[in-house]
């Protein structure tokens, strides 16, 4: 009998923000797959979920930090093949990912590849709390109210796009901002929006950091797990 494949969002960083469903699955599965971006770095997802993994074998799946499509595809294919082999042995396998399992997650790519390799597999995806919803809750800051719109933008390559985005959306979440942070701040200043923003990094971890003074962070090395919330109506 083919095993089940689970994709589990483990939330933004605090171990007590995993859902009850996620915890119960982690305690019961045979194998927990963890994304690993490099040999030097410890898996963030494993750090969050470790306390709930009791007897499961740990399998590392390479997820390199690159935009090279060929490199990524090769890594995902290798990981999917390893997972498929375990499923064919009747083992129940969970892949854990920070945040939500269906939002900007490596799991979604693996899920499709596993499904092609094992067409009869039963796949169960478990949602997780996103970093921006957890940040808003921590700050007691509504992301949107009434009929307000909001938008989530990942890794903004061209910060000048904010000129258009901020004309349409009163509330904007910018994820993975470290790479273009200084340019984003420059655009926000030019648009007169810099004082309507908050920066959050590594929410739920010991190094958690929050500031409303984005100018003070210019020319500094920032954490990959960081985001900016823009509230044009103010805080």
Domains of the chain: 4-126 (3.40.1010.10), 131-231 (3.30.950.10)
Tens-digit pLDDT profile for residues 110-140: 999 999 999 999 999 999 999 999 999 999 9
Please check the confidence at residue 29 and state whether its pLDDT lies above 70: yes
What does the block give as tokens for 112? 């499709």
Residue 64's pLDDT band (boundaries 50, 70, 90)? confident
Helices 69-88 and 106-117 meet at what angle, rounded to 10? 50
Name which of 180, 133, 138 is nearest 161 in CA terms. 180
Confidence of residue 38 (pLDDT cuts 50, 70, 90): low
- Give the pLDDT confidence score for residue 39 in this predicted structure: 53
pLDDT-based confidence at 44, cuts 50/70/90?
confident
Report the pLDDT averaged over residues 144-169: 95
Q: Residue 41: pLDDT band by 50, 70, 90 thresholds?
A: low
**pLDDT for res 107:** 95
Please work out, in degrees rounded to the nearest 5, the angle formed at the alpha carbon of residue 150 by the alpha carbons of 146 and 151. Answer: 165
Q: What is the pLDDT of residue 145?
A: 95
**Rg of the Cα atoms in the chain:** 19
Mean pLDDT, residues 29-44 taken together: 82
pLDDT of residue 147: 95
Give the pLDDT band (50/70/90) at residue 56. very high
pTM for the predicted model, two decimal places: 0.91
**Structure confidence at residue 66 (pLDDT):** 80
């Amino acid at each position: 009998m083919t095993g089940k494949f689970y994709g589990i969002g483990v939330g933004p960083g605090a171990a007590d923000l995993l859902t009850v469903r996620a915890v119960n699955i982690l305690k019961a599965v045979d194998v927990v797959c963890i994304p690993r971006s490099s040999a030097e770095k410890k898996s963030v997802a494993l750090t969050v979920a470790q306390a709930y993994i009791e007897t499961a074998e740990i399998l590392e799946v390479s997820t390199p930090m690159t935009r090279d499509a060929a490199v990524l595809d090769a890594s995902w294919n290798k990981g999917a093949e390893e997972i498929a082999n375990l499923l064919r042995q009747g083992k129940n396998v969970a892949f854990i990912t920070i945040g939500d399992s269906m939002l900007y997650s490596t799991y979604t790519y693996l899920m499709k590849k596993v499904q092609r390799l094992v067409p009869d597999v039963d796949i169960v995806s478990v949602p997780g709390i996103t970093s921006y919803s957890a940040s808003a809750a921590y700050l007691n800051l509504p992301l949107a109210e009434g009929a307000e719109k909001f938008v989530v933008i990942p890794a903004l390559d061209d910060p000048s796009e904010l000129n258009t985005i901020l004309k349409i959306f009163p509330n904007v979440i910018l994820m993975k901002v470290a790479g273009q942070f200084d340019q984003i701040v420059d655009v926000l200043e030019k648009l007169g929006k810099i004082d309507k923003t908050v920066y959050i990094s590594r929410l739920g971890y010991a190094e958690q950091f929050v500031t409303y003074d984005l100018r003070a962070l210019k020319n500094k090395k920032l954490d990959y797990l960081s985001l900016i919330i823009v509230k044009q109506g103010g805080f």
